[in-house]
Amino acid sequence: MTEVRRATRDDLDGLVWLRRAWTEERHGVGADETYARRFAVWFEAEAPRRSFWLATEDGEPVGMANLVTFERMPGPGVDASRWGYLGNMFVASAHRGRGVGRALLDAVISHAEAEAFERIVLSPSERSLAFYRRAGFHSADELLLRPRR
C-alpha cells in the first residue's frame, strides 16, 4: 500500500535515491560521489520555502514531489497571497500506473488548498500532460518565458 507524507531531513536518503533515479532515467548520468552531500545542503537551504512529499511502499521510497511557495506582495486594499510551483514530481518506473503519482498530487493539492494558495503552476513533461489535465490543470497562456541565453 502506498503511503504519502511530508518529507523531512530524515528522508534525505530516499529523496536522494529518487532524484538520482530521475536523473539517470532522463539523462543517463553516472556516479557522483558528492551528490548526496550537495543535495542535503540544497534541501536545508530550500526547506523554509519548499514543502516536500515522499511516497513509500512497504517503507521504501517510490515517489516524491515538492511545492515552492511564493508570497505575493500586498498592495493598497489587497492582501498578500500565495501560490505554489509544483516541481520535481517523480515516481520510480516500477511503481508507475498504480496511483502513486495521483496520491502525491492529491497531497500537494490538499496542502495548497489548506493554505489558501491562489494557484499551483508547473512545467509538465510531454508524457505527464494528460495526467495533470485529468487533475484539473490547464494551459496558462498568459505566462511568458525568457530562457537563459
Q: DSSP readout, 63-87?
A: EEEEEEEEEEPPBTTB--EEEEEEE
Q: How many residues does the chain have?
A: 149
Confidence of residue 46 (pLDDT cuts 50, 70, 90): very high
Contact 86, 121 (CB under 8 A): yes
pLDDT at 73 (0 to 100): 95
Q: What angle do CA 70, 73, 78 make, to 5 degrees?
A: 120
Q: Report whether pLDDT(88) > 80.
A: yes
Helix ranges (DSSP H) in 47-144: 100-114, 129-134
Give me the domains of the chain, ranges plus CATH numbers: 2-134 (3.40.630.30)
Q: What is the DSSP letter of 28?
A: -
Report the pLDDT averaged over residues 51-57.
98
Q: How many helices (H) and strands (E) does the chain have?
A: 4, 5
Q: Does the pTM of the predicted model rise above 0.85?
A: yes
Amino acid in the structure at residue 50: R
What confidence tens digit (pLDDT) does each residue in 60-85 have? 999 999 999 999 999 999 999 999 99
Helix (H) or strand (E) holding 4: strand 2-6
Contact 14, 32 (CB under 8 A): no
Contact 84, 67 (CB under 8 A): yes
